[in-house]
A and B are shown apart, each in its own frame.
Chain A
Amino acid sequence: MKGIVFTEFLEMVEERFSLEVVDGIIERAALPSGGSYTAVGTYPVEEMGRLVGELSAATGAPVPALLHAFGKHLMTRFTQGFPRFFAESTDALGLLERVETVIHVEVKKLYPDAELPSFECTREGPDRIVMVYRSPRRLSDLAAGLIEGCAEHYGETLDVAREDLSGDGQAVRFTITRGGGT
């Protein structure tokens, strides 16, 4: 997993909780990298799992909620770091439709070792798309946070219905409707 995900995650923990919490979860997670992350590096994805698990233990918040919150946080960073992608779409559904076909394609060019999910995207109507998330990393909660962050960026309300197609989180269907559920 790309270092930027780790540095952003730890930054979020420090902002929301404290440097002490950051230090605590790193110490307890006993990570091979020692918790020294640089945005330009690449680290085992398991370390992220352990960090999130330790954070849940330390704060009592469930892992899915933490990933969701992290997704939202990450999206605010993406809007700052990659403004071009957001300028190219006029609304949230438009941007989400382009994650698979444009955004992650560009990400892969920038970071050839990035491990990205796949999204199968279909438009069901002017206000509805269906995205099927597939990834062995089972980060659909992160995806849900990213989607929400995306809606916030465009000042929209999106109704997101989620269905686990595989039963283990490797394939999850998001049905996303604009305008809060109509």
Chain B
Amino acid sequence: MSDPIAVLERALERERRARKAAEGLLEEKSRELFTANQDLRALAGTLEQQVEERTRELALARDEAVSASRAKSQFLANMSHELRTPLNAIIGYSEMLREDAIDAGDEALSTDLLRIHSAGKHLLSLINDVLDLSKIEAGQMDVFLESVPVGPLLADVVSTIRPVVEKNGNTLELVAEGELGTAHVDVTKVRQTLFNLLSNAGKFTSNGRVTLTAGREREGDRDTLVLTVRDTGIGMTPEQMENLFVPFKQADASTSRRYGGTGLGLAICEHFCRMLGGAIVAHSEPGVGSTFSVRLPARQPRAEHPSGSFERPARPSRGAVVVVDDDANARDLLSRTLAAEGYTVHAAADGEEGLRLAREVRPVAITLDVLMPQLDGWAVLSALRADDSLRDVPVVIVTMVGDRNVALALGATELVSKPVDRERLASIIARHVKAPAEILVVEDDEHSRDLVVRVIEGHGCTAVCAQNGRIALDRLAERQPAAIVLDLMMPELDGFELLERIAVEPALRAIPVIVTTAKTLSREDRGRLEGRVQQILQKGLYSQSDLVKWLERVTVPLAEAP
């Protein structure tokens, strides 16, 4: 047996050495840990630094992009302003002069003026292309739907573009397949799309045929307008068609030199079709020709404006319109346009004057320029909206720069951009002006008639007069009034007889009638009036307010209609 002390000593010695080895290992490990930690910290540091740098770079790039895009928008807005101002005058006055020339029978002059007019319009369209595309890119393009008869729209497009297409010795034909009817579309965008496709077709075709075919496909509750532009021109190769709808990419650089154009047209068309819920497709064969088919929903499910509301009123409604614009040319053009529509125009050269006029004449509508010295359009608008008596008057902002949404948010009724599309302006005003209700006054006595007419006009309606039943029938055949004020005792055809005639006419039966009479009505008389008149006022006994109350009742729904 070994010595127990020696065993213990050896065990102790082993333990001591093991402890030292462990300590050595520990120190080595902690040194490793320390360096690893330092490496990590350094790595974390550089990582943080890298992240910071990247973030800074990105922020810089973003800021640059934002300011570049802002600068671009600003530049485009300025440029469009600068270019559109003189164009405004050129287009407007050439059109007006042309109308004069036509009236005077001067054909040569009118043709020249048409050339100026269409050259101006072409230039405008180029500017608009660039603007449109930047608007589309910025997501600021609005869709503006209206109900229009398709046939006349296409006929108008074709007649406008005809000189362009025929220039290359081409024929242009419009083919309507079946009944085209009325469509609810954005007219401006449809026109622009067709102009583009047709002028392209004309450009790339010589001594050939360009056809615009229009049809309507009704399938279940889907109603599609199909517009196809076909040409017999140079056509395209599959490679050329690849970038067809990409902005700034024409088939190749030489194309733009030879055929002109911005290269934006098709890109815009494609955007427009998509915005309208439709699509555009192209087919082409080199040397044979190209076909572009546009398919658009003819009825928009979520109509922004009730259909039919855009149609021009059968007869211009009368009423005062205040035109506020500091530019004399613009003011003049607007005034003439509105006067031609039958409005009484009061023009103001600045905001103050505009407000004064508005308070004085109580217009049915106001057109307002935005960029004016002193009191600008927005300030005038807010003053109008703050004025109890003018709050409800529709205000159309007419401007070169301006955002429709902003305008609407500030209380404008609509925004029209300059140069003003006269028809559009007229239709907007017609739509928003509460067309005065027309009341037919059937009365043989001049004084009684004048009195009733005065009450009617004081109420903001217009009066049409008939001296007896027969004349009243003639008037009714022309157009239907909102209501009839009827005397009973008249020569030729009296009130009772007139009512009998009206009762058998389905179109007239619903017109509200009020009787004013000096006659003491018998039982039999009352029986004949029963169910045919709304109210009977005894002459000399009724007060004006009775008539006014009735007028209010019968005209309110009309006036409220959008």
Q: Which residues of B contact A130 (CB under 8 A)?
A: none
The yes or no answer to B7 lying at the interface (CB within 8 A) is: yes
Q: Assess whether B7 is in contact with A36, with CB atoms less than 8 Å apart.
A: no
Interface status of B283 (Cβ within 8 A of chain A): no
Question: CB of A158 within 8 A of chain B?
Answer: no
- Tell whether, in the assembled complex, residue B11 and residue A41 are in contact, meaning their CB atoms are under 8 Å apart: no
Separation in Å of the A43 CB from the closest CB of chain B?
A: 10
User: When the two chains form their complex, are residues B14 and A40 in contact, meaning their CB atoms are under 8 A apart?
Assistant: no
Q: A20-B7, A23-B7, A24-B2 are in contact. Are A41 and B14 (CB under 8 A)?
A: no
A38 touching B2 in the complex, CB below 8 Å, given contacts A19-B7, A22-B11, A23-B10: no
**Residue A124 at the B interface, CB < 8 A?**
no
Q: Which residues of A contact B155 (CB under 8 A)?
A: none
Contact A34 B19, beta carbon cutoff 8 Å? no
Residue in B closest to A6 when the chains form the complex, CB atoms: B18
The contact of B22 among A19, A34, A40, by CB within 8 Å, is A40
Task: Give Cα A20–Cα B11 distance, bound, in whole angstroms.
Answer: 9
**In residues 440-465 of chain B, which contact A (Cβ within 8 Å)?**
none
| A24–B11 alpha-carbon span in the complex (Å) | 10
Q: Looking at the assembled complex, report how far the CB atom of B5 sits from the nearest CB atom of chain A, in whole angstroms.
A: 11
Chain B residues lying within 8 Å of A55, measured Cβ to Cβ, are: none
CA distance A41 to B4 in the complex (A): 28
In the complex, which residues of chain A have a beta carbon less than 8 angstroms from the beta carbon of B8?
Answer: 19
In B1-17, which residues have CB < 8 Å from any A CB?
1-2, 4, 7-8, 10-11, 13-17
**Which of A20, A24, A36, A39 touches B14 (beta carbons < 8 Å)?**
A36
Q: Which residue of A22, A26, A36 contacts B21 across the interface (Cβ within 8 Å)?
A: A36
How near does chain A come to B36, taking the closest CB pair, in angstroms? 13
Given the known inter-chain contacts A19-B7, A23-B10, A34-B14, please indicate yes or no for A41 contacting B2, CB distance below 8 A: no
Residue of A at shortest CB range from B16?
A36
CA distance A41 to B19 in the complex (A): 11
For chain B, give the interface size range.
Answer: 10 to 19
The residue in A19, A26, A27, A38 that gathers the most chain B C-beta atoms within 10 A of its C-beta is A38
A85 within 8 A of B: no
- Establish whether residues B18 and A37, one from each chain, have CB atoms under 8 Å apart when the complex forms: yes
Question: Given A27, A38, A40, A41, which contacts B10 in the complex, CB threshold below 8 Å?
Answer: A27
> Given the complex, which residues of B lie within 8 Å of A145, measured CB to CB?
none
CA distance A19 to B5 in the complex (A): 11
Query: Across the interface, do B14 and A26 meet the contact criterion of CB distance under 8 Å?
Result: yes
Q: Does B26 contact A (CB under 8 A)?
A: yes
Chain B residue nearest in CB terms to A23: B7
- Residues in A with CB closer than 8 Å to B26 are 40
CA distance A19 to B21 in the complex (A): 21
Known: A20-B4, A23-B2. A38 touches B22 (CB 8 A): yes
Does residue B25 face the partner (Cβ distance < 8 Å to A)? yes
Expressed in whole angstroms, the minimum distance between the Cβ of B19 and any Cβ of chain A is 7
Interchain CB contact under 8 A, A36 and B17:
yes
- B25:A38 contact, CB within 8 angstroms: yes
* Residues of chain B with a CB closer than 8 A to A71's CB: none
Residues of A within 8 A of B18 (CB): 36-38, 41
A95 to chain B, nearest CB (A): 30
- Of chain B, the residue at the smallest CB distance from A43 is B21
Can you name the residue of chain B whose Cβ is closest to the Cβ of A38?
B22
Question: Whole-angstrom distance from the CB of A19 to the nearest CB of chain B?
Answer: 6
A149 at the binding interface (Cβ < 8 Å) = no
Q: Is the CB of B19 within 8 A of A38?
A: yes
Q: CB within 8 Å of B: which residues of A?
A: 19-20, 22-24, 26-27, 34-41
13 contacts between A and B (CB under 8 A): A19-B7, A20-B1, A23-B2, A26-B10, A26-B14, A27-B10, A36-B13, A36-B14, A36-B16, A38-B21, A40-B22, A41-B21, A41-B22
